[in-house]
Protein backbone atom coordinates (compact mmCIF):
# COMPACT_ATOMS: atom_id res chain seq x y z
CA UNK A 1 0.00 0.00 0.00
CA UNK A 2 1.11 3.52 -0.79
CA UNK A 3 -0.06 6.98 0.17
CA UNK A 4 -2.56 9.42 -1.26
CA UNK A 5 -0.46 12.58 -1.64
CA UNK A 6 -1.36 16.17 -2.45
CA UNK A 7 1.10 18.79 -3.71
CA UNK A 8 -0.29 22.32 -3.27
CA UNK A 9 1.46 25.02 -5.25
CA UNK A 10 2.46 22.52 -7.92
CA UNK A 11 3.12 25.13 -10.63
CA UNK A 12 5.76 27.05 -8.65
CA UNK A 13 9.51 26.39 -8.48
CA UNK A 14 9.31 24.46 -5.21
CA UNK A 15 6.11 22.59 -6.07
CA UNK A 16 7.54 21.33 -9.35
CA UNK A 17 10.71 20.28 -7.53
CA UNK A 18 8.62 18.40 -4.96
CA UNK A 19 7.02 16.41 -7.77
CA UNK A 20 10.43 15.68 -9.32
CA UNK A 21 11.85 14.46 -6.01
CA UNK A 22 8.80 12.34 -5.11
CA UNK A 23 9.31 10.58 -8.46
CA UNK A 24 13.12 10.34 -8.18
CA UNK A 25 13.00 8.85 -4.69
CA UNK A 26 10.15 6.52 -5.67
CA UNK A 27 7.97 7.64 -2.79
CA UNK A 28 5.18 5.06 -2.35
CA UNK A 29 2.16 6.78 -3.91
CA UNK A 30 -1.20 5.23 -4.70
CA UNK A 31 -2.80 8.48 -5.80
CA UNK A 32 -1.56 12.04 -6.31
CA UNK A 33 -3.35 15.38 -6.72
CA UNK A 34 -1.68 18.61 -7.80
CA UNK A 35 -3.25 21.89 -6.71
CA UNK A 36 -2.77 25.50 -7.73
CA UNK A 37 -4.51 28.84 -7.41
CA UNK A 38 -7.48 29.57 -9.64
CA UNK A 39 -5.36 31.61 -12.08
CA UNK A 40 -3.17 28.53 -12.73
CA UNK A 41 -6.08 26.09 -12.90
CA UNK A 42 -5.62 23.39 -15.52
CA UNK A 43 -1.88 24.00 -15.93
CA UNK A 44 -0.09 20.74 -16.65
CA UNK A 45 2.89 19.61 -14.56
CA UNK A 46 5.18 16.58 -14.82
CA UNK A 47 5.35 13.75 -12.33
CA UNK A 48 7.83 11.11 -13.45
CA UNK A 49 6.62 9.98 -16.87
CA UNK A 50 3.10 11.26 -16.21
CA UNK A 51 1.52 14.63 -16.92
CA UNK A 52 -0.93 15.90 -14.31
CA UNK A 53 -3.48 18.70 -14.55
CA UNK A 54 -3.80 21.09 -11.61
CA UNK A 55 -6.97 21.34 -9.57
CA UNK A 56 -8.27 24.33 -7.59
CA UNK A 57 -6.80 24.58 -4.10
CA UNK A 58 -9.78 26.67 -2.97
CA UNK A 59 -12.34 23.94 -3.64
CA UNK A 60 -10.31 20.76 -3.12
CA UNK A 61 -11.62 18.22 -0.60
CA UNK A 62 -8.72 16.82 1.48
CA UNK A 63 -10.86 14.07 3.02
CA UNK A 64 -9.26 10.65 2.52
CA UNK A 65 -5.83 12.03 1.56
CA UNK A 66 -2.87 11.03 3.73
CA UNK A 67 -0.50 13.98 3.41
CA UNK A 68 -0.26 17.31 1.64
CA UNK A 69 2.98 19.08 0.75
CA UNK A 70 2.24 22.82 0.77
CA UNK A 71 4.36 25.27 -1.27
CA UNK A 72 1.91 28.16 -1.56
CA UNK A 73 3.13 30.91 0.79
CA UNK A 74 1.84 31.95 4.21
CA UNK A 75 -1.43 33.57 3.04
CA UNK A 76 -3.01 30.56 1.30
CA UNK A 77 -1.45 28.23 3.88
CA UNK A 78 -3.20 30.08 6.68
CA UNK A 79 -6.52 29.58 4.90
CA UNK A 80 -6.19 26.03 3.58
CA UNK A 81 -3.72 24.12 5.78
CA UNK A 82 -6.10 23.99 8.79
CA UNK A 83 -8.85 22.69 6.48
CA UNK A 84 -6.61 19.90 5.22
CA UNK A 85 -5.46 19.07 8.75
CA UNK A 86 -9.05 18.99 10.04
CA UNK A 87 -9.92 16.56 7.22
CA UNK A 88 -7.25 14.15 8.51
CA UNK A 89 -4.60 15.00 5.92
CA UNK A 90 -1.18 15.74 7.47
CA UNK A 91 0.23 19.02 6.14
CA UNK A 92 3.95 19.44 5.50
CA UNK A 93 4.24 23.20 5.12
CA UNK A 94 7.06 25.00 3.34
CA UNK A 95 5.97 28.51 4.36
CA UNK A 96 7.10 30.33 7.51
CA UNK A 97 3.60 30.34 9.03
CA UNK A 98 3.92 27.46 11.49
CA UNK A 99 7.69 27.23 12.04
CA UNK A 100 7.65 28.96 15.40
CA UNK A 101 4.43 27.41 16.71
CA UNK A 102 5.34 25.30 19.78
CA UNK A 103 2.67 22.76 18.79
CA UNK A 104 4.12 22.24 15.30
CA UNK A 105 7.37 20.28 14.85
CA UNK A 106 10.03 21.98 12.72
CA UNK A 107 11.93 19.14 11.08
CA UNK A 108 15.22 18.58 9.30
CA UNK A 109 15.33 14.76 9.23
CA UNK A 110 19.13 14.53 9.53
CA UNK A 111 18.93 16.60 12.73
CA UNK A 112 15.71 15.99 14.67
CA UNK A 113 13.63 13.29 12.97
CA UNK A 114 12.40 12.14 16.40
CA UNK A 115 10.38 15.38 16.73
CA UNK A 116 8.03 14.10 13.98
CA UNK A 117 5.75 12.48 16.57
CA UNK A 118 4.56 15.92 17.68
CA UNK A 119 2.68 16.34 14.38
CA UNK A 120 -0.56 14.99 15.86
CA UNK A 121 -1.22 18.11 17.94
CA UNK A 122 -2.24 20.06 14.84
CA UNK A 123 -1.71 17.55 12.01
CA UNK A 124 0.87 20.00 10.65
CA UNK A 125 4.67 19.77 10.25
CA UNK A 126 6.84 22.76 9.33
CA UNK A 127 9.68 22.82 6.82
CA UNK A 128 12.47 25.26 7.80
CA UNK A 129 13.82 28.24 5.92
CA UNK A 130 16.15 27.31 3.06
CA UNK A 131 19.21 29.00 4.57
CA UNK A 132 18.64 27.33 7.94
CA UNK A 133 18.11 23.83 6.55
CA UNK A 134 21.51 23.43 4.93
CA UNK A 135 23.34 25.05 7.84
CA UNK A 136 21.88 22.80 10.55
CA UNK A 137 22.66 19.67 8.50
CA UNK A 138 26.32 20.67 8.86
CA UNK A 139 26.10 21.92 12.45
CA UNK A 140 24.21 19.08 14.15
CA UNK A 141 26.92 16.35 13.91
CA UNK A 142 29.54 18.84 15.11
CA UNK A 143 27.27 19.95 17.98
CA UNK A 144 26.81 16.33 19.05
CA UNK A 145 30.58 16.02 19.40
CA UNK A 146 31.74 19.34 20.89
CA UNK A 147 28.62 21.42 21.76
CA UNK A 148 28.27 24.67 19.86
CA UNK A 149 28.25 27.93 21.82
CA UNK A 150 27.98 30.50 19.04
CA UNK A 151 27.51 30.67 15.27
CA UNK A 152 28.30 33.64 13.03
CA UNK A 153 26.97 33.08 9.51
CA UNK A 154 27.02 35.16 6.35
CA UNK A 155 24.83 33.85 3.54
CA UNK A 156 25.11 34.19 -0.23
CA UNK A 157 21.55 33.40 -1.31
CA UNK A 158 20.43 32.80 -4.88
CA UNK A 159 17.54 34.62 -6.52
CA UNK A 160 15.46 31.42 -6.79
CA UNK A 161 14.84 31.87 -3.07
CA UNK A 162 12.58 34.74 -4.14
CA UNK A 163 10.69 32.52 -6.58
CA UNK A 164 10.25 32.73 -10.34
CA UNK A 165 9.95 36.52 -10.19
CA UNK A 166 13.41 36.75 -8.66
CA UNK A 167 14.94 34.52 -11.32
CA UNK A 168 13.20 36.48 -14.09
CA UNK A 169 14.47 39.77 -12.67
CA UNK A 170 18.11 38.62 -12.67
CA UNK A 171 17.73 37.33 -16.23
CA UNK A 172 16.00 40.47 -17.52
CA UNK A 173 18.42 42.86 -15.80
CA UNK A 174 21.45 40.97 -17.09
CA UNK A 175 20.14 41.15 -20.66
CA UNK A 176 19.31 44.84 -20.24
CA UNK A 177 22.85 45.68 -19.13
CA UNK A 178 24.22 44.17 -22.35
CA UNK A 179 21.59 45.97 -24.41
CA UNK A 180 21.84 49.68 -23.55
CA UNK A 181 18.50 50.46 -25.19
CA UNK A 182 16.70 48.57 -22.40
CA UNK A 183 15.98 49.92 -18.92
CA UNK A 184 17.35 47.92 -15.98
CA UNK A 185 14.09 47.65 -14.06
CA UNK A 186 13.95 46.94 -10.30
CA UNK A 187 10.75 45.18 -9.23
CA UNK A 188 11.22 42.13 -7.01
CA UNK A 189 14.41 43.20 -5.24
CA UNK A 190 15.18 46.45 -3.43
CA UNK A 191 18.10 47.32 -5.75
CA UNK A 192 19.59 46.03 -8.98
CA UNK A 193 20.55 42.38 -8.47
CA UNK A 194 22.47 41.81 -11.73
CA UNK A 195 26.23 42.22 -11.10
CA UNK A 196 25.44 43.27 -7.53
CA UNK A 197 24.83 41.91 -4.02
CA UNK A 198 22.03 43.07 -1.72
CA UNK A 199 22.38 42.73 2.10
CA UNK A 200 18.61 42.63 2.57
CA UNK A 201 16.29 39.60 2.46
CA UNK A 202 12.72 39.89 3.78
CA UNK A 203 11.61 42.86 5.92
CA UNK A 204 13.59 44.84 8.47
CA UNK A 205 12.92 44.33 12.17
CA UNK A 206 13.22 46.77 15.07
CA UNK A 207 16.73 45.67 16.05
CA UNK A 208 18.08 46.30 12.55
CA UNK A 209 18.21 42.65 11.49
CA UNK A 210 16.04 41.34 8.68
CA UNK A 211 13.34 38.70 9.09
CA UNK A 212 15.52 36.23 7.12
CA UNK A 213 18.31 36.69 9.65
CA UNK A 214 15.89 36.29 12.54
CA UNK A 215 14.57 33.08 10.99
CA UNK A 216 18.05 31.55 10.98
CA UNK A 217 18.46 32.37 14.67
CA UNK A 218 15.05 31.11 15.82
CA UNK A 219 15.01 27.99 13.66
CA UNK A 220 18.53 26.85 14.58
CA UNK A 221 17.55 27.08 18.23
CA UNK A 222 14.34 25.10 17.68
CA UNK A 223 15.93 22.39 15.52
CA UNK A 224 19.35 21.92 17.14
CA UNK A 225 19.60 23.49 20.61
CA UNK A 226 17.97 26.58 22.20
CA UNK A 227 21.23 27.44 23.98
CA UNK A 228 23.15 28.13 20.74
CA UNK A 229 23.78 31.82 20.07
CA UNK A 230 23.41 32.71 16.39
CA UNK A 231 24.05 35.93 14.50
CA UNK A 232 23.42 36.11 10.76
CA UNK A 233 23.88 38.47 7.82
CA UNK A 234 21.79 37.35 4.85
CA UNK A 235 22.76 38.56 1.38
CA UNK A 236 21.11 38.08 -2.01
CA UNK A 237 23.60 37.40 -4.80
CA UNK A 238 23.23 37.17 -8.61
CA UNK A 239 23.14 33.37 -8.74
CA UNK A 240 20.09 31.56 -10.10
CA UNK A 241 20.06 28.44 -7.88
CA UNK A 242 22.13 27.37 -4.89
CA UNK A 243 22.74 29.03 -1.53
CA UNK A 244 26.21 29.35 -0.01
CA UNK A 245 27.13 30.18 3.57
CA UNK A 246 30.35 31.13 5.35
CA UNK A 247 29.85 29.73 8.86
CA UNK A 248 32.05 30.49 11.86
CA UNK A 249 31.42 28.12 14.77
CA UNK A 250 32.61 28.45 18.36
CA UNK A 251 32.44 25.30 20.50
CA UNK A 252 32.53 24.63 24.24
CA UNK A 253 35.17 21.94 23.67
CA UNK A 254 38.11 21.87 21.29
CA UNK A 255 37.40 20.23 17.93
CA UNK A 256 40.28 19.63 15.59
CA UNK A 257 39.64 20.44 11.91
CA UNK A 258 40.68 16.93 10.85
CA UNK A 259 38.22 15.34 13.26
CA UNK A 260 35.51 17.75 12.12
CA UNK A 261 36.21 16.73 8.53
CA UNK A 262 35.89 13.05 9.45
CA UNK A 263 32.66 13.66 11.39
CA UNK A 264 31.08 15.53 8.48
CA UNK A 265 32.16 12.86 5.97
CA UNK A 266 30.13 10.32 7.96
CA UNK A 267 27.18 12.59 8.71
CA UNK A 268 23.85 11.97 6.93
CA UNK A 269 23.14 14.41 4.12
CA UNK A 270 26.68 15.85 4.09
CA UNK A 271 29.25 15.65 1.31
CA UNK A 272 32.73 16.92 2.15
CA UNK A 273 34.80 18.27 -0.75
CA UNK A 274 37.72 20.02 0.87
CA UNK A 275 41.03 20.08 -0.97
CA UNK A 276 43.44 22.92 -0.34
CA UNK A 277 44.08 23.58 -3.98
CA UNK A 278 42.58 25.56 -6.85
CA UNK A 279 38.96 24.46 -7.29
CA UNK A 280 39.08 22.05 -4.34
CA UNK A 281 35.74 23.27 -2.96
CA UNK A 282 32.12 23.38 -4.07
CA UNK A 283 30.33 26.42 -5.47
CA UNK A 284 26.57 26.93 -5.96
CA UNK A 285 26.56 26.14 -9.68
CA UNK A 286 28.00 22.68 -8.95
CA UNK A 287 25.35 21.70 -6.39
CA UNK A 288 22.28 22.31 -8.57
CA UNK A 289 20.12 19.21 -8.85
CA UNK A 290 21.94 17.37 -6.07
CA UNK A 291 20.48 16.12 -2.80
CA UNK A 292 23.58 16.71 -0.65
CA UNK A 293 24.68 19.59 1.52
CA UNK A 294 28.28 20.22 0.44
CA UNK A 295 30.93 21.32 2.94
CA UNK A 296 34.31 22.80 2.06
CA UNK A 297 37.01 25.11 3.48
CA UNK A 298 37.05 23.39 6.91
CA UNK A 299 39.71 25.11 8.98
CA UNK A 300 40.59 26.18 12.50
CA UNK A 301 39.76 29.72 13.63
CA UNK A 302 42.72 30.88 15.70
CA UNK A 303 40.98 34.07 16.89
CA UNK A 304 38.76 32.21 19.40
CA UNK A 305 39.54 29.37 21.78
CA UNK A 306 37.54 26.60 20.11
CA UNK A 307 36.62 27.83 16.65
CA UNK A 308 36.12 26.42 13.16
CA UNK A 309 35.23 27.96 9.81
CA UNK A 310 33.25 26.02 7.21
CA UNK A 311 31.75 26.77 3.79
CA UNK A 312 28.30 25.24 3.21
CA UNK A 313 26.59 25.00 -0.20
CA UNK A 314 23.31 23.40 -1.24
CA UNK A 315 20.57 23.54 -3.86
CA UNK A 316 18.04 25.74 -2.06
CA UNK A 317 15.12 24.43 -4.11
CA UNK A 318 16.03 20.91 -3.02
CA UNK A 319 17.48 20.60 0.48
CA UNK A 320 16.30 24.09 1.31
CA UNK A 321 12.71 23.31 0.38
CA UNK A 322 11.40 20.43 -1.73
CA UNK A 323 13.83 17.66 -0.75
CA UNK A 324 13.47 18.38 2.96
CA UNK A 325 9.67 18.26 2.62
CA UNK A 326 9.83 14.88 0.87
CA UNK A 327 12.27 13.58 3.48
CA UNK A 328 9.78 14.66 6.16
CA UNK A 329 7.07 12.76 4.27
CA UNK A 330 9.30 9.68 4.25
CA UNK A 331 9.86 9.89 8.01
CA UNK A 332 6.14 10.53 8.61
CA UNK A 333 5.24 7.45 6.62
CA UNK A 334 7.91 5.24 8.17
CA UNK A 335 7.50 6.33 11.79
CA UNK A 336 3.85 7.37 12.10
CA UNK A 337 1.45 6.48 9.28
CA UNK A 338 3.16 3.18 8.35
CA UNK A 339 1.36 2.43 5.09
CA UNK A 340 4.05 2.53 2.43
Known binding-site residues for substrate equal 157, 236
Indicate if 117 belongs to the active site.
no
As a whole number of angstroms, the distance between CA 111 and CA 27 comes to 21
> ∠145-147-148 over CA atoms, to 5°?
125
Reduced to 3 states, what is the DSSP secondary structure of residue 267? coil
As a whole number of angstroms, the distance between CA 140 and CA 5 comes to 30
Find out whether 329 and 336 touch, Cβ atoms under 8 Å: no
Compute how many other C-beta atoms are within 10 angstroms of the C-beta atom of residue 97: 19
As a whole number of angstroms, the distance between CA 131 and CA 244 comes to 8
Reduced to 3 states, what is the DSSP secondary structure of residue 24? helix
Find out whether 238 and 196 touch, Cβ atoms under 8 Å: yes
Q: Per the residue annotation, which of 234, 243, 270, 287 is the catalytic one?
A: 243
CA torsion sign for 281, 282, 283, 285 is positive
Reduced to 3 states, what is the DSSP secondary structure of residue 300? strand
As a whole number of angstroms, the distance between CA 168 and CA 190 comes to 15
Where is the binding site, in residues? 11-14, 39-40, 99, 157, 160-161, 236, 316
As a whole number of angstroms, the distance between CA 79 and CA 69 comes to 15
Among candidate residues 57, 136, 127, the one with its CA nearest the CA of residue 96: 127
Indicate if 130 belongs to the active site.
yes
Where is the binding site for phosphate, in residues? 99
Q: Per the residue annotation, which of 89, 111, 130, 234 is the catalytic one?
A: 130
Where is the binding site for NADP(+), in residues? 11-14, 39-40, 160-161, 316
Active site amino acids: 130, 243
Amino acid sequence: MGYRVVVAGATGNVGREMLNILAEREFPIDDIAVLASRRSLGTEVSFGDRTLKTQDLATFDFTGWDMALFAVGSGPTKEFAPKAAAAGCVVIDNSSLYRYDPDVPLIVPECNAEAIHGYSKKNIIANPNCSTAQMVVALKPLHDRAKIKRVVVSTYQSVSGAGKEGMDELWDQTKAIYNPTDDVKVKKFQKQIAFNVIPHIDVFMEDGSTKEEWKMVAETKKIVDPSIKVTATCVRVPVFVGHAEAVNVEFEDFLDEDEARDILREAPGCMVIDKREDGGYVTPIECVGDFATFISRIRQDSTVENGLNIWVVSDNLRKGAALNAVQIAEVLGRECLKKG
